[in-house]
Structure 1
Amino acid sequence: MDITAITIRDALDLLHEWRHPVLVLVFSCAAVGVAGVGIFFLLVTTLVQSYRQPPEKHPHGASAMFVLGSGGHTTELLGMISQLDFALYPTRTYVSFSGDTLSTVRALQLEREKSVTTTSTTTTTTSAAPAPAPGQVTTLALPRARTVGQSYFTSIFTSAACGFECVFAVAKVRPDIVVCNGPGSCVLICFAALVLRATRIKLTRLVYVESIARVNSLSLTGRILISVVDRFIVQWPALAEQYKDKGVEYFGILA
């Protein structure tokens, strides 16, 4: 049969033959595949365009999400957060991961210290003016993507579960900015924020600060996120020089 001679009627006749269930299945899979590819490229296009949009203005302050690691990562990030003006970020969310209750405790301790400092400063300035509101502080504990010593095969499933939890958490909070400094689980938080950007739910800006321990090379987390975050900050001049073509920023030691 000359395939060029097949008409629409011939194609319809084929559907009425005994082979039509297979043909319907093939056509359905092809349609789903084409639609999936189209949606994927649409989301990628929307995501790329989001980087060109100017920063949003927040007259009443922005909401910030801080992704805590364990140990040194938490110490570094809390040191940076302690230098922030909380009036600019009245809504603050601290994210930790299962098995790391100490990071949450330390974050809440910082909140109490900042609240006392702000109140004391306000009282000293003018006793007639009321102290500013402490703002809304929330803590989230998400499942860990992979524990130390866990097999790579089982980590596929735990990472997928953690990824879904991250998407739901970011979609619920809808922060204006996400700040992280290196723990591997923050990759999933950042990609969850990218999902919100691609679907136009929320234009969440991503700020990554490379750990002070990385002097001459980026961490694995940094290498993954350097091309997708809005601002990538390093704390050593060697890294700033090495990755200057990547748009990294250097302000010295931050904490």
Structure 2
Amino acid sequence: MGHDDLAAACYALPVLVALFTVRFFYVLWRSGQPSSRPQAAGLRCLIVLGSGGHTAEMMNIVTTLQKDRFTPRYYVAALTDNMSLQKAQVYEESLIQSGEKKTVENAHFMQIYRSREVGQSYITSIATTLLATLHAMWLVIRIRPQVIFCNGPGTCFPLCVSAFLLKVFGLGWSSIFYIESIARVKKLSLSGLLLYKLRIADQFFVQWPQLQQKYPRACYAGRLM
């Protein structure tokens, strides 16, 4: 590389960094703002499920969605979670039986690696977190969701980060709706706290008024269960 090429690179690098920084803060500002674009008839919807009560709460939210608007629906659960996707499949099949939809083409069921298993050491979780993040990025690029619903399982964080990065790089735009679990009365879950502090979620809902007072950027939604 000649001196001219090196000089050009030295000038170009700060410009690229500046452009990336401007874009990053624009995405932070734009997230959560009302959309100026006309509402689409069908929105690709990514629904993050989780073990324990997360799936029950999320499926309760899914039942209230306008099915013709939030379609197709992509349900994602951890690779070691064998129950959550079954519950989603049962629900989607019930829609067919009730006549609300005629085919299963509007529902897709996918799995993702966990960032960290229960009881796993923090040292070994570094590698699994990296793997989960790469897998999440691949899924988000493949699906290109326009809406993401999540409520606290650890699998939601790498998915939301991946969707946010796609917005920063201009490769897609996802509106992220985070609904904190009703079990969180006094403090946020780790996933919720990270999404709140990093301002990744477009809309952040809590189900207890004391949480909204503690985290003023959150919206109090009342009890959803």
Same fold (TM over 0.5): yes
Aligned counterpart, 1:63 = 44
Alignment of structure 1 residues 15-30 onto 2, 5 Å: none
Q: Supply the distance in 2 between the matched residues of 1:185 and 1:234 (Cα, whole angstroms).
A: 19
* In structure 2, C-alpha distance between the alignment counterparts of 1:91 and 1:157, rounded to whole Å: 32
C-alpha offsets along residues 69-90 of structure 1, whole Å, 9 cap, x if unaligned? 1121111111111222211112
The CA deviation at 1:62 is 1.0
Matched letter for residue 83 of structure 1: T
SS at match of 1:144: coil
CA 1:177–1:32: 2 relative to 1, 3 Å: same
Q: CA shift at 1:253, angstroms?
A: 1.4
- Determine if the alignment matches structure 1 residue 80 to structure 2 residue 61: yes
RMSD of aligned residue pairs (Cα, Å): 2.5
Q: Percent identity?
A: 30
Whole-Å Cα distance in 1 between the matches of residues 188 and 109 of structure 2?
A: 29
After alignment, is 214-223 or 158-167 more displaced?
A: 214-223
* SS of residue matched to 2:83: helix
Q: For the Cα contact (< 8 Å) 2:179–2:205, is it kept in 1? A: yes
- Matched AA of 1:218: L
Amino acid at match of 1:254: L
2:133 to 159, 163, 179: 163
Given candidates 121, 124, 147, the residue that maps to 1:154 is 124
Q: Residue 48 of structure 1 corresponds to which residue in structure 2?
A: 28
* TM-score normalized by the length of structure 1: 0.76
TM-score with structure 2 length normalisation?
0.86
Return closer, same or farther for 1:53/1:250 CA change in 2, 3 Å cut-off.
Answer: closer
- CA shift for structure 1 position 204: 0.3
**Which of 229, 234, 243 is residue 206 of structure 2 equivalent to?**
234
Greater percentage in helix: 1
User: Deviation per CA, 1:93-118, whole angstroms, max 9, x where unpaired?
Assistant: 0011111121111110111112222x
5+ long unaligned stretches in structure 2: none
Classify 1:48/1:242 alpha carbon distance in 2 versus 1 (closer, same or farther; 3 Å): closer
Report how far residue 63 of structure 1 moved.
1.2
State the match for 1:125 in structure 2. Answer: none
Match of 1:111 in 2: 92
Query: Structure 1, unaligned stretches of length 5 or more?
Result: 1-11, 16-23, 123-130
Larger Rg: 1
- Amino acid of the residue matched to residue 201 of structure 2? V
Q: For each residue in 1:128-156, what CA deviation from the matched residue of structure 2 results, as whole angstroms up to 9, or x when unmatched? A: xxx66555211111111111121111111
Cα distance between partner residues in 2 of 1:240 and 1:138: 34
Distance 1:55 1:116 in 2: 37
How many residues are paired up?
219
Matched-pair contact (CA < 8 Å) for 1:90–1:135: no
1:217 pairs with 2:187? yes
**1:172 partner amino acid:** R
